[in-house]
Structure 1
Amino acid sequence: MNEKKQPSNRQLKIGQQIRFLISNFFIKEDFVFENFDSKNLTVVDVVLSPDLKIAKIFVITNSFDTNKLLINELNNKSKLIQKKIALNLTSKFTPKLKFFFDNSFEYSDKINNILETINR
């Protein structure tokens, strides 16, 4: 069987620290996006690989129509973001950052709509 391992306490702790640092970076820094306001970004979750070398950062924004552009721009600027959060991260090294759009809210809306149509 192919069971997923639960993340370790260290993965969870560093993931939450990265989430906090990136969120603060978007709010406080003068981080310039071409088409977006960084204050409208929300970091939903950070999932670290078991070796702590890769961090998958899941984000959402108010405008759902520009998600691919946003993710591309975030991934293009990930080295800069990585350097900025490395200054405050309590870890030997800073994981490589990969940004993804979190579509769990859209998925839950679809499920709710399906359940509503069934209950009618």
Structure 2
Amino acid sequence: MSTPMAKNRFSEGSGPSQRQLRVGELIRRTLSDVLNRGDIHDPDLNRLSITVGEVRTSPDLKVATAYVLPLGGKGQEEVVELLKRNQGELRRAVSKKLTLKYAPELRFRLDETFDRMDETRRLFAQDDVRRDVED
């Protein structure tokens, strides 16, 4: 039975806990190492250079969502499909190197942070926006 305080702590809108952030960063580093070393038995995946920008974990740490982007940004959908196809092996490789009670289920999404930053820069460069900001 959960207490009202526990419900509020993980309610929508509140940020991740320090534990979630710490474990997410550990998973991010470990997943990056596994991908960089080519420890996975899929030559299609090993030929790619993939950046793991962030990993967000669920409050119970059983699900980890990795935000990834291929080097150069080309073949984004292919990268996500290859990672999904090798999800089990990646999960085992990551969990072998971490000391967590449970091996988290790995999910993969495209990291759109850079696209949003480019769009923000483009918006701020527009004359009417720059004029509004300067006022």
Instruction: Output the TM-score relative to the length of structure 1.
Output: 0.87
Q: Is contact 1:33–1:73 with CA below 8 Å preserved after alignment?
A: no
Take 1:85 and 1:65, find their aligned partners in 2: how far apart are those partners? 25
1:84 — aligned with what?
93
Structure with greater helix share of residues: 2
Label 1:109 to 1:30 Cα distance change in 2 as closer, same or farther (>3 A). Answer: same
Aligned pairs for 1:20-99 (under 5 A) are 20-31=29-40, 32-34=42-44, 37-38=47-48, 40-99=49-108
Gaps in structure 1 of 5+ consecutive residues: none
1:5 — aligned with what?
14
Aligned-pair identity in percent equals 27
Q: Which moved more, 1:89-98 or 1:9-18?
A: 9-18
RMSD over aligned CA atoms reads 2.0
Q: Which moved more, 1:87-96 or 1:25-34?
A: 25-34
- For residue 106 of structure 2, give the secondary structure of its aligned residue in structure 1: strand
The alpha-carbon deviation at position 68 of structure 1 amounts to 0.8
The alpha-carbon deviation at position 37 of structure 1 amounts to 2.9
Q: Is contact 2:35–2:46 with CA below 8 Å preserved after alignment?
A: no
- For residue 63 of structure 1, give the secondary structure of its aligned residue in structure 2: helix
Label 1:12 to 1:35 Cα distance change in 2 as closer, same or farther (>3 A). Answer: closer
Matched residue pairs, number?
118
- For residue 16 of structure 1, give the secondary structure of its aligned residue in structure 2: helix
The alpha-carbon deviation at position 61 of structure 1 amounts to 1.9
Whichever residue aligns with residue 94 of structure 2, its letter is I
The alpha-carbon deviation at position 99 of structure 1 amounts to 0.6
Whichever residue aligns with residue 23 of structure 2, its letter is I
Q: Point out which structure has higher relative CO (alpha carbons under 8 A, 6+ apart).
A: 1
Whichever residue aligns with residue 19 of structure 1, its letter is R
Label 1:26 to 1:16 Cα distance change in 2 as closer, same or farther (>3 A). Answer: same
**Which structure's CA Rg is the greater one?**
2
Label 1:9 to 1:110 Cα distance change in 2 as closer, same or farther (>3 A). Answer: same
The alpha-carbon deviation at position 41 of structure 1 amounts to 1.1
